[in-house]
Amino acid sequence: MAIIFLTGCARQGYHTAQSVSPDFIAAGDSQPFVWPVRGSVSIPFGATEEGVRTKGIVIETQDGSAVVAARDGRVQFVEDGMPGYGRTVVIEHSPDFSTVYARNTEVLVALGQWVRQGETIARAGRSARGAAPQLYFEIRRKSKAVDPLQFLRSS
């Protein structure tokens, strides 16, 4: 049910199976995704960034912008210093979907916490190379990264 996607997830216990209520499954599978931060896509899904093919999108935004949960779900992973990702949050929305929010300057949620769509979970920051303020965002479906633009509701 849970998804292993980054080095270090096993160390955090992210792969541990958990029981999920039917309400959790129903809400996660039928609810549309919303944009996690206001801004514009500067690096699209599948592009090369710093020599690595991206599995998500990079959204340029204002420094410290509110990063919100794209859907209702439970915080399954919080890490302070993932190489290339920085402060990272992963939310599991259902057995099929999870989202990744990285390069945050501040994380405002805790492991295991239930969050609602639109709830502020972090503050946008910068990559290690000091580029413009940004959020790295992934949507994973059945453990596979998919193009978030196919799922994000237009605003």
The fold adopted by the segment(s) 9-150 is: Glucose Permease (Domain IIA) (2.70.70)
55 close to 85: Cβ distance less than 8 angstroms: no
Please give the pLDDT value at position 126: 78
Q: Match 């410290």 to its residue by tokens.
A: 64
Please give the pLDDT value at position 84: 76
36 close to 69: Cβ distance less than 8 angstroms: yes
Q: What is the pLDDT of residues 98-153, one digit of tens each?
A: 999 999 999 999 999 999 999 999 999 877 666 788 999 999 999 999 999 999 97
Please give the pLDDT value at position 17: 34
The pTM is what?
A: 0.80
Q: Across-strand partners of 115? A: 73
Does the pLDDT at position 72 exceed 60?
A: yes
Please give the pLDDT value at position 12: 40
Q: Across-strand partners of 125? A: 134
Decide: residue 21, CB within 10 A, 0-12 exposed, 13-18 middle, 19+ buried: exposed
Region of 112 (left: φ > 0; alpha: ψ -120 to 50; beta: rest) is: left
Q: What is the pLDDT of residues 27-60, one digit of tens each?
A: 446 789 999 999 999 999 999 877 888 899 999 9
| DSSP symbols for 12-29 | HTTT------HHHHHHHH
Query: Higher model confidence: residue 85 or residue 115?
Result: 115
First to last CA, the chain: 30
pLDDT tier, 4 (very low <50, low <70, confident <90, very high otherwise) = very low
Please give the pLDDT value at position 80: 87
Report how far Cα 133 is from the mean position of its chain's Cα atoms.
Answer: 16
Q: Match 């690595």 to its residue by tokens.
A: 52
Q: Can you give the residue ranges of every domain in the chain?
A: 9-150
